Structure formats: C-alpha cells, structure tokens
Amino acid sequence: MAAIDQRMSLLRSIQELEFTALELNLYLDTHPDDPQALEYFNRTSEELANLKMQYEQQYGPLLSYGFGKNAANAKAWSWAESPWPWEM
Amino acid sequence: MKNFTFKVVPGPPGAFNHLPPKPVAPVTPPPSQPVKSEPFGQPCPPPCPYYQHQPQYPPLQPPAPPAAGPMPQNPFAAARLAHAYVPWQYYRVVYPPSEALDKGTLFPELYQPQGVYGPCEGPEPCRVFGPWGGAPYGGN
C-alpha cells in the first residue's frame, strides 16, 4: 500500500508541475517578455522533466505511441504491464 | 514571438475625437427627377393591389430617461460603450503548484470559485422556472 501511495504522490507531483507549466505557457504566449514568468517556467519544466524521468524509471512509461521510452532495464514491452489509471 | 494580442486602454471620455474634422465637400443636389410613387413606374389601377397590406408598426418608444441622482461610480466609467475591454494581466503572485491544480488556475486574480457565475454552472442540476426551463441569473 505504501508503494502505491508513493507512486500516486509522484504522479500527483507530475500533474501539478504539468499544470503549472501549462499555465505559464499560456501566460507567456501573451507576455513573452516577462523575465519572472519565463524563469519560473524554465525551472518548472526542468523539474517536470526530472520527475517524469524518475517516474518512468521506477514505474514504467507515462505515454506510449512514441512519446515515452521503454524502461531501459526492461527486456520486454512495458507499456501494457503497468496498471491502468482506474486500477491505481 | 511578437506580442500580437489586442490591448485596449480606455481614455478619458470624449478624448477619442483627436482628429480634426475632415473638410466636407459641398454637396450638389442631383438633378431632380420625377418621383416614382408607384413600383414598376406604373400608376396603380383604382383597386390598387399594392400598399394594401402595409405592416403597421407600433409607434417608436422614446428611450427611458436616466435615473435621477448621480451616476454610480464604477471602475469602467472611462471605457467607451460597445468596446470589448480586457484588463491587462500582470505577473504578481502565483499559487504553489499543488494549490494551482486544485483551484484550476495558477493566478489568484483569475480564481473564481464555484457559484459566482450563477446557479446553472457546475454539475448540480439547475432549478427550473416556468415551462420554458432555465433559471434567472443570480437566483437560487
């Protein structure tokens, strides 16, 4: 149970950072010269990439169809191995 | 990317007529022509088929006079009527990511919790008034 909690907590962090990055994306579309927002966007997207990499290494790919990497240590196709969102 | 957004800053009332009036060329009246009072240029025979069923419009109602007393102070008093106006957003304080995801926006100035748009928003079914359905804005 603790493992799934850890996994869900990591997934939640990824969702939070993705939402923040999307909001800053929309803000920067209309305010491209805002250095503060741009700096926050860069920090957010970097942290988001780190968390995604950590999640995919521990739990399997977040996306399929060419967007995610098959886990490096997996011998077989790992996309269908991880639980579906409604199973978590 | 260049900033392509449309920004309208309201000026003081009456300040938009900053251009001098264009000189108006004198209008020469066109040569008078015989006025055709009948369609197709033909006089209508005595049981005239035209103009028998002219629509009768109700007399125009004059606009209601403004309410007595001073105009209420509103922050958009300087904005011109019939101009869409979106205030410019500035980057001030943002929510932390977890709070932003819960509230649906990163910016506190854009946060509008459930209920401020009236009774019919959200998943709750709307209370129905009258046979046509719907509900008055701001009702309960």
Q: What is the pTM of this model?
A: 0.54
**What does the alpha-carbon distance between residue A56 and residue A65 come to, in Å, rounded to a whole number?**
15
Q: Name the residue facing A27 among B1, B2, B91 (closest C-beta).
A: B91
pLDDT digits (tens, 9 = 90+) for A5-15: 899 999 999 99
What is the mean predicted confidence (pLDDT) over B94-117?
87
pLDDT at residue B1 greater than cutoff 50:
no
Interface-testing mutation among A22, A27, A28, A44, with chain B (most B C-beta atoms within 10 A): A27
Cα nearest neighbour of B95 on chain A: A20
Length, in residues, of chain A: 88
Amino acid (one-letter) located at A79: W
Residue B94's pLDDT band (boundaries 50, 70, 90)?
A: very high
What is the mean predicted confidence (pLDDT) over A40-69?
86
Provide the domain count of chain A.
Answer: 1
Residue keyed to tokens 């990497």: A69
Q: Name the residue facing B98 among A16, A23, A34 (closest C-beta).
A: A16
The whole domain housing A25 covers 2-87
B107 and A27 in contact by Cβ < 8 A?
yes
B91 and A16 in contact by Cβ < 8 A?
no
Residue B101's pLDDT band (boundaries 50, 70, 90)?
A: very high
